[in-house]
Amino acid sequence: MAHLLSTSCSIKLSSSHRPLSQPFRQCPTKCLTFLTPGTSKSPFKRFFLQGGTQQASCVVRATVAISQETPTQSSSDSRQNSSEPSKPKRVMVIGGDGYCGWATALHLSNKGYEVAIVDSLIRRLFDRQLGLDSLTPIASIHNRLRCWRSVTGKTIELYIGDICDFEFLSETFKSFEPDAVVHFGEQRSAPYSMIDRNRAVFTQHNNVIGTLNVLFAIKEFRDQCHLVKLGTMGEYGTPNIDIEEGYITITHNGRTDTLPFPKQASSFYHLSKVHDSNNIAFTCKAWGIRATDLNQGVVYGVRTDETEMHEELCNRLDYDGVFGTALNRFCVQAAVGHPLTVYGKGGQTRGYLDIRDTVQCVELAIANPAQPGEFRVFNQFTEQFSVNELASLVTKAGEKLGLDVKTISVPNPRVEAEEHYYNAKHTKLIELGLEPHLLSESLLDSLLNFAIKFKDRVDTKQIMPSVSWKKIGVKPKTLAA
């Protein structure tokens, strides 16, 4: 149980912090902080740092609410007296300190939702373990939220803890009472899950048990809550048939049925997401949970309307071989004069989307919730590209900026088809109103200029792939610095 420690503080941000698109408005805030150091049953205590030393076996559970000056009506009373019954207002964003989660939390808050971020902050620990860093300097989560409150006058509550700890998650659900949960809170890198046995086990435990805990918390404490779960297009693999949105109707030996689309995961990370999908589908059927699984493609970009309001709201941008995604990596490589690293033949084709469309898709799913007992699957991407096509687009865009962009083929560290058929359906979010930001010359120009702006922060030793699918072993691996 968390104990309450109330403090009052005046937040002032340094005058050196320059607004990106509008004047920064300082204002005093009040801070409420909950702290309980204690023994944790989470996988943190079994987690190894880069040098092989064990992480401390206690976790600090914290809740920080940067609240309004004036008291507001309780959430339960406001919902009972509201004349606007349908649209969920209280949204819990699990993993809200991460790449997609941070942009989503700000977007939803800006749209008028009451938002709470739940995060263990372990993504920042991964960087320290592996000697990595975001291309962009990112502020602490506390400074991020203070800045958001100062710039917009809007509050985002913060609960720091591990969702694999069900006691922590239970108290968080009972405290915030969400109408919708957006679940980004998973280890999201396929290469990370393939570094060694420890990280493979961590990935599956963290992702599968964390999602199971969320399902149980919804059942026990908020049974009408809508779960919006971030899945991945990687669950499907690269079948030699069109990929449908979650389900396929087949006729076999004269009988017809609609079944979940076959899954062909290609890493321990992707396998954890398949497990998640099966567990969510089962609980929708057994318990009547309402859930939407957003099978997301590869995300690119860094800017959203909200993250551009102030430099302390800036999102992270990963370019390394463990967490960096293809288009983001290529733009950073072009900016520093490193050849674009195409894995193998480069025919690997996937669905892609701008991060501005990620936040738009999540909002659409929340505003149009699944019915009780319904497990919906939306394929969340806007365009398909092969790796070679992306490299060609970045090369042309770089040349217009005066960059000498080269491309090299490197041995593929993954086990995957390098030339294959790929045609995935993605109509359901369009039907709900998604207005895509398609990859254009102007967008590539913007992303390249962004990479050039921060190119002095690039560690070129982190560009080449260092994780091999075939060489994964049981010995804890330290990646070369």
d(CA 183, CA 122): 15
| CA gap 454, 335 in Å, rounded | 9
User: Tokens 């999540």, residue?
Assistant: 362
**Distance (Å, whole) CA 274 – CA 435:** 28
Beta-bridge partner residues of 247: 260
Tell me the C-alpha to C-alpha distance, in Å, between residue 11 and each of 28, 102, 228: 5, 21, 33
Q: The tokens of 313 are what?
A: 């709201």
Catalytic residue among 136, 232, 304, 341: 232
Task: Specify whether 461 is catalytic.
Answer: no
Is residue 269 annotated as part of the catalytic site, yes or no? yes
CA dihedral sign of residues 34, 40, 41, 46: positive
Is residue 406 among the annotated active site residues? no
For 10-126, list the strands marked E by DSSP: 29-39, 58-67, 90-94, 114-119
Q: Which one of the listed residues 154, 273, 428, 477 is annotated catalytic?
A: 273
Q: What letter does residue 316 receive in the DSSP assignment?
A: P
Q: What is the dihedral of CA 362, 363, 365, 366, to 10 degrees?
A: 120
Map residue 192 onto helix, strand or coil: helix
Q: Determine which helix (DSSP H) or strand (DSSP E) holds 159, and give its type and residue range.
A: strand 156-160
Q: Which of 99, 113, 192, 269 is catalytic?
A: 269
Question: What's the maximum distance between 2 C-alpha atoms anywhere in the chain?
Answer: 73
What amino acid positions are annotated as catalytic residues?
232, 269, 273
